[in-house]
Amino acid sequence: MEADLSAEPDLVLVTDECLDGEKVRLIEKAGAGENRYVEIEGAPDLVVEIVSDKSVNKDTHRLPAAYFKAGVREFWLVDARGDEIVFRIHRRGDSGFEPVALVVDGFQSSVVLGCRYRLDRSRNAKGRWVYDLREKE
C-alpha cells in the first residue's frame, strides 16, 4: 500500500499511462474551469527537487525517502549551489532510491522518459548561469 505524501516538489511528471492506470488522480480546482487542477492524488512517475540553502536536508534525505514510500518511480536531484553542479537521476531500489550509473559522457538513463540526460551549466556574456538539459536516446 502506498503512503500519503504531502509535498510541493519543484517539478512533477505524471504520464498518461499513470493516469489511465488510475495510479494517479488529478483533483480539479473548484470553479476554475476545465483542466485546472490543484492537487495530484497518488504517486507521480517522476519528481525533481532543486536544493536550496534552506532545503538541503529536506531535499536530500526526508523527501526522497517519502517519495520512495509513496511509490514515485523516479527521483531527480539538482544542486547548483556550489562550483560544480550536481545532477543525479535516482530509480527505485529494494529499500530506497539508488543513483543511476553515469555513462562516460556524463549522461544518466531515465526509465520513465526512456532517454539519457545530462545537465550542463555555463555562464552567458553577462556572467549569469545558463542551464542546458541535454538529451540522448
pLDDT in tens, 75-126: 999 999 999 999 999 999 999 999 999 987 999 999 999 999 999 999 999 9
Q: Is 70 exposed, middle or buried (0-12, 13-18, 19+ CB in 10 A)?
A: middle
Q: What is the dihedral of CA 15, 20, 21, 22, to 10 degrees?
A: 100
Per residue in 24-67, pLDDT tens?
888 887 776 777 777 888 899 999 999 999 989 999 999 999 99
E strands in the chain: 11-13, 24-28, 37-42, 46-50, 74-79, 86-92, 97-99, 108-110, 115-123, 129-136
